[in-house]
Amino acid sequence: MKVKIKPLVAFVCTHNSCRSQIAEALSKKYKAEIFRSCSAGTEIKDHINKDAVRLIKKRYGIDMEETQRSKLITEIEKPDIVIFMGCDVKCPSLKSDYSEDWKLDDPTGKNDCEFNKVIYEIEIKLKDLAERIEYGL
């Protein structure tokens, strides 16, 4: 019997502190049976965005400060799929079989309503991505 290895999806954003971290957290909680996930950036912050941490903890019970950290793209395994979060990041050294840009607004510094809109968009896009992966992208 051939064992199917789940593809690795990398969520990439400049600082790897907000949108990419949210996508990693939600995909690990809800889509781990379909794909593996990580997040990374071309620069890093010394912490994950505090508003993202607070809202994801409140809404989903996930403490991103305990389970995740900001990482450079050079620190992750070669991904099968790269999802750019919308910061116009160009990562020529991050090769993958497939990539797309979700073009999400950066909610950093905005109110909870704006953050929740982005979180909801990420949820919808994760569901769509998981479905496409299941059917061969």
Residues carrying an active site annotation:
13, 87, 91
For 26, other C-beta atoms within 10 Å of its C-beta total 22
Do 91 and 2 touch, CB atoms closer than 8 A? Answer: no
Report the side by side order of strands in the sheet with 8-12: 36-40, 8-12, 81-84, 98-101
